[in-house]
Structure 1
Amino acid sequence: MTAKTKLALFDLDHTLLPIDSDHAWGEFTQAIGWCDRAEFKRRNDEFFAQYQAGTLDIHDYVRFATDALRRRGAAEAMAARQDFMRQVIGPAIRPQARALVDAHRAAGEQVVIVTATNEFITRPIADAFGVDELIAVRLERGADGWITGEIAGIPSMRAGKVARMGEWLAARGLAWGQVEATFYSDSTNDLPLLERVRHPVATNPDARLRQIARERGWRILDLFQ
């Protein structure tokens, strides 16, 4: 019997990070004066509440979240992202999260971050964890090479995470039956992928996911306690 490829899949926000990087980026851009502070905060908090409730329209949110990026242009956006990584994300990366990723890597497992946050925000965060394989919301690029505010392909959210993982596997000549996957997530938004893998781990779970994990006998990991 051929040994199965072992995968360690990680959600990002509130799983490997104790914060929501998408929401934090919005807070950061209002702090540096890219948008009207009161109006942006109102809408950003509204979208975040919708995400927590499982009702978020990802296309609407990405248009909103990338509006300032589109207007500022690539050079200014990249410079702001470097500051964001240094000031916000770096201090939020905890040793226990690094150790968890490193333990799976040391065991010979392929580590993949699978997140509903867009690739502009999450690529340098994945790099900070030493993770090459990132499945994030892909941003459509216009003729000028810069983002348009639309999503390219299937957004990696809810059932879209399963679909995008399927694409990732197929690109490597693999199918679900050929892998043994562990998936760490904090949210019921990720139930489709948690139910698809062999080893679901409710990580820093919200109240609803904690209850589901208890009922189904899933492992519960409170990483940041």
Structure 2
Amino acid sequence: MHRSYYESSRLNDFMFCNNLYLVLSDPTHHTERSHTLIDLCFVDDLEKVVDNSQYSVPILSAHDLIRITYNFSSSRGTLMPIISRDIKHFDKSLYQQDLFSADWSTVFASNSMECKLEAFNSNLMNSINLHAPLHTRSLKRPPAPWLTEDNQKLIKERNKLSSPYVRSQSLSVLSKYKTCRNVIKSLIIESKKRQQTADGFMA
């Protein structure tokens, strides 16, 4: 960045076009023959930079260790509602009975394939909407993909151990509960780390 190389000029143009600012200005890479600013840190607002520093670590690397403290706020995004079908009270026999009693004459009598398909879909969707209606629910918290099906089963097992201990005050039950709780906590932490790592690679 200190010399007028082609890449430096392009990088300066990029900074200007995107309203970015370079935090550090001192050389960050050191050799016997040169000292160059090649470890770059950009921000959108210099006033948000609370502190910055760089440290020489010659034993480990020719690059300086750079650090900044940046002040920014992170707001939770709006959680979109989930629309799904309610199959809690779905009755297969009633659903089939409703399909059998529907008027399918248009499907067989019409010469138009488009009319056949429209009539077929209409009967099918009317029955589905009747026996498995659409249900909209709002999320109270962001999705937690690290809570896998196996982890959720273990959480249920842990919760099952809680009530017996409250009733009996048995130390053996308490020991089982604590063991299960600690195992679940470790598994969730590891699952969360793996998920965050995967999200980082995909970002």
> Looking at CA atoms only, which structure, 1 or 2, has the larger radius of gyration?
2
**Bigger relative CO (Cα 8 Å, ≥ 6 apart):** 1
Q: TM-score range by the shorter chain?
A: under 0.3
Give the TM-score of the pair, scaled to structure 1. 0.21
